Structure 1
């Protein structure tokens, strides 16, 4: 499965990483330059100090009578033992004649050769005097040089703690502003679903995003055209299929009148029964085809109460319609988004199933709550959860001998889904030990609920 990622987060990570990497590289190059420059500065200091010490040392040695023991030069500042530069004055045999306050009386591990030399503890400059008989050696420690370089690098690194977070925050603000049109377009496209295929309104988008908006609107236009063509085709097919079936059934019924109780009357009644079953199956298949064509996808609204009243009135004219009971918690309007025709087909299928499969000695109750939820309840032995799942499948029927095609629930569920409504099946009925309930729950509340009765009141017909 392809993982999801955020464009903003990816840009933030890449930009932040590149900025940090560039800064670190800059600090590294700066450290190399500083090391070179510091080396030149320290070397110049060593050489200058040694050359300045030579005449002073010569005068000091000429004034001394005893050169057998090395003489220690005391520190010029009271209380300070730290010296960045140490020096020794040695003769041609390597003996230490003079040494600085912090220098050891032991000779430096440096040859008596004029110039620079490196040792394990530091860098030394040797200056020769008096025909190479007196040598002045000045040394600075390697630790001092490392400390100076480290402090310089830290001085460059510390701004990262401030610059990088500020840069990241600035990049985030800029990215949010630049990518705001992308979020606007994404939200507009995200609002399009099976019940809303209208073109996206003109948006204030940059030139790079306008082709996407035009392509999406073109796609929505083609979808609307395809769905309209499918609806027209299924409507025409329904009419063309009903007509010959109705003609064949009428001819069979006329034949039954002519045959009366003759030997062929039984076969004619069987033909009539088969044609009636075929007519019902064709009606369900055409309803299913209309549902597949998306007749429930509609940007309009309808009154749930009006559609229920119309469907109940149609059933009143049938023998089974006498078992219907209608209860309303609200006598006002219950406006919902969707197609009135699609809702009527779904409701008719659910009521037909309740009348067909419910116990004939118990009524079928249609309840309408104040929020527009519709519940169809009928008497029936309690079903297991697995049976409720099976009933949702096409051509699936429960343990019953009643006539039916097993398509009613599938048609109703498909049409209601297109109107963003959910079909919930329950058995037994909540609060009872038996019964079967089909509950229609609209995802979005009605946009125009009226209230002609007081809260909690119920009207029963």
Structure 2
């Protein structure tokens, strides 16, 4: 399930709410406008009918004889479409006078004073007083009213449709600015690890976030104290163990030289092997403590290619690695990065030791420095599955091997390299090989 963004949810919710309110307001405005338009049109219709009745009746009464205007078409023809049409009718419904666009047949409206709504028109009938009543019916086309309502509604809705995208952008901008301190706090918390446990600055934080910052800082302080105590204990313990272990190992070796051959000498050699293993473990614990303390992170670029050459040369001088270690530096290869020389050397030694101990003794170990600054350490051996590669990455993790070791070497190297903005890749088999493993060190380009 993908992570849901608070910014996105707030933007959508607020924009949807604003758009909904605007559309509702526009709809209510259209309803009110329809009612007001009806009142205005009805008022105009009634006023027109009553004033026109006086003029038409005078025109009829001024004729030579009653009914002389029955077929009178003498109303001045309209220059365009008329919005209002009318008919003057007698009590029998006959049309005495009509406007230019009015039909010849009588309107489908009753002959009585007041308003009447038909299928296509809204009528108002005005009547005269006296024995012979005349009826003036003025009609207003409903299509004209609908057209006015549609145009008025569009005048309300179009600005809303134009403002909705602008409101979405404005809401997104406001939400982003409002949630910026939360994002800054999230990034500050996400950056915390064993090498960065500095407290989070409270300056500029909103009042609502201060309790969270206070709690996180308290937790970081306690965690930092616990980790420092653990590292100090590990480092002190390993350091204090080195001297007595070295003394016991020396005494054991003297004892082995003095003892004659037999079971006692064999047991003494077993004690020597155990002390060597214990000394190696103490050395690894010291390296682990230094890695946990963040010794690999520095800001000044150094020549790590020289460090690589020195480490390889040191192994080549060792009787155990003599003849097994090969070094190849590509032409023009440069490795200058902001990293600790000591920390890089520790990482290299652990990776090369891992290749020497667990690799096939009959296959040379190939250490390469490529043109792009990638360091490759290739050793022979069986093909390793992905789960085995993941296992040996873990602290005290060991794969299918009977060789002695603490299971800390790759974990220490991985920790130190991460502090140098480098990543450790484990590949099996290496490119061009049927088996074995390759430890590949790649630095981020921006750290060069």
Return the alpha-carbon distance in structure 1 between the equivalents of residues 78 and 366 of structure 2. Answer: 108
- Match in the other structure for 1:115: 114
What is the Cα-based RMSD across aligned positions, in Å?
4.3
Deviations 1:392-419 (A, max 9, x none): 46442446x5444444334433433343
Does structure 2 conserve the Cα–Cα contact (< 8 Å) formed by 1:197 and 1:224? no
- Match in the other structure for 1:266: 266
Return the alpha-carbon distance in structure 1 between the equivalents of residues 168 and 403 of structure 2. Answer: 71
- Match in the other structure for 1:236: 236
- Match in the other structure for 2:304: 304
Task: Tell me how far 1:236 sits from its aligned partner.
Answer: 0.8
Return the alpha-carbon distance in structure 2 between the equivalents of residues 381 and 207 of structure 1. Answer: 58
- Match in the other structure for 1:416: 417
Does structure 2 conserve the Cα–Cα contact (< 8 Å) formed by 1:195 and 1:338? no
Return the alpha-carbon distance in structure 1 between the equivalents of residues 265 and 441 of structure 2. Answer: 45
Q: Name the CA shift for 1:429/1:99 in 2 (closer, same or farther; >3 Å).
A: closer
- Match in the other structure for 1:38: 37
Q: Name the CA shift for 1:128/1:414 in 2 (closer, same or farther; >3 Å).
A: same
Q: Name the CA shift for 1:348/1:88 in 2 (closer, same or farther; >3 Å).
A: same
Please show how residues 434-449 of structure 1 align to structure 2 within 5 Å. 436-444=437-445, 447=448
Q: For 2:398, which of 389, 396, 406 is the aligned residue?
A: 396
- Match in the other structure for 1:366: 367
Deviations 1:69-110 (A, max 9, x none): 953535523554x33222233333444333333333433333
- Match in the other structure for 1:375: 376
Q: Name the CA shift for 1:430/1:165 in 2 (closer, same or farther; >3 Å).
A: closer
- Give structure 1 stretches of 5+ with no counterpart: 448-461
Count of aligned residue pairs for this structure pair: 441
- Match in the other structure for 1:252: 252
Return the alpha-carbon distance in structure 2 between the equivalents of residues 381 and 332 of structure 1. Answer: 28
Does structure 1 conserve the Cα–Cα contact (< 8 Å) formed by 2:428 and 2:437? yes
Deviations 1:285-322 (A, max 9, x none): 6655665x454563455652454355446545631243
Deviations 1:164-216 (A, max 9, x none): 4555555666666x459649936973893658638599898475598499657
Is 2:102 aligned against 1:100?
A: no
Does structure 2 conserve the Cα–Cα contact (< 8 Å) formed by 1:350 and 1:412? yes
Return the alpha-carbon distance in structure 1 between the equivalents of residues 186 and 372 of structure 2. Answer: 28
Is 2:84 aligned against 1:85?
A: yes
Does structure 2 conserve the Cα–Cα contact (< 8 Å) formed by 1:391 and 1:409? yes
Relative to the length of structure 2, the TM-score reads: 0.78
Does structure 1 conserve the Cα–Cα contact (< 8 Å) formed by 2:195 and 2:293? no
Task: Tell me how far 1:261 sits from its aligned partner.
Answer: 1.9
Return the alpha-carbon distance in structure 1 between the equivalents of residues 157 and 131 of structure 2. Answer: 47
Q: Name the CA shift for 1:124/1:377 in 2 (closer, same or farther; >3 Å).
A: closer
Task: Tell me how far 1:238 sits from its aligned partner.
Answer: 0.8
Deviations 1:360-388 (A, max 9, x none): 4665443334554322334x246255465
- Give structure 2 stretches of 5+ with no counterpart: none
Relative to the length of structure 1, the TM-score reads: 0.76
SS at match of 1:107: coil
Is 2:351 aligned against 1:350?
A: yes
- Match in the other structure for 1:156: 156
Q: Name the CA shift for 1:445/1:229 in 2 (closer, same or farther; >3 Å).
A: farther
Return the alpha-carbon distance in structure 1 between the equivalents of residues 436 and 256 of structure 2. Answer: 40
Return the alpha-carbon distance in structure 2 between the equivalents of residues 120 and 72 of structure 1. Answer: 28
Please show how residues 212-231 of structure 1 align to structure 2 within 5 Å. 215=214, 225-231=225-231
- Match in the other structure for 2:124: 125
Q: Name the CA shift for 1:233/1:298 in 2 (closer, same or farther; >3 Å).
A: farther
Return the alpha-carbon distance in structure 1 between the equivalents of residues 224 and 307 of structure 2. Answer: 25
Q: Name the CA shift for 1:78/1:374 in 2 (closer, same or farther; >3 Å).
A: closer
SS at match of 1:320: coil
Q: Name the CA shift for 1:363/1:114 in 2 (closer, same or farther; >3 Å).
A: closer
Please show how residues 325-340 of structure 1 align to structure 2 within 5 Å. 325-328=326-329, 334-340=335-341
